[in-house]
Amino acid sequence: MREEIAEPFVRFAGLGFLIPCSVAAGYFLGLVLDKLFHTNFLYIVFLIIGAAGGLYAMVREASAKS
């Protein structure tokens, strides 16, 4: 009984960290690539890719059937 109540909460609590972590990962990957290739725009590109990936993963997880 208790597991039935806690399982959805735990599953959806992780979604709150999904988008910020994806955006941060994309941003830092872009920064590293900017330093490596001596550019100054890749961090924006990877920040957008990270945000889109985080949103996609969030929608996929939220709509998954238990």
SS3 string, the chain, reads CHHHHHHHHHHHHCHHHHHHHHHHHHHHHHHHHHHHHCCCCHHHHHHHHHHHHHHHHHHHHHHCCC
Please tell me the pTM assigned to this model.
Answer: 0.80
**pLDDT reported for residue 45:** 97
**pLDDT reported for residue 15:** 80
**pLDDT reported for residue 32:** 97
55 pLDDT band, cuts 50/70/90, is: very high
**pLDDT reported for residue 65:** 61
pLDDT in tens, 7-52: 777 777 788 888 899 999 999 999 999 999 999 999 999 999 999 9
Residue (of 11, 48, 42, 16) closest to 29 by Cα position: 42
Domain spans in the chain, listed from the N-terminal domain onward: 14-63
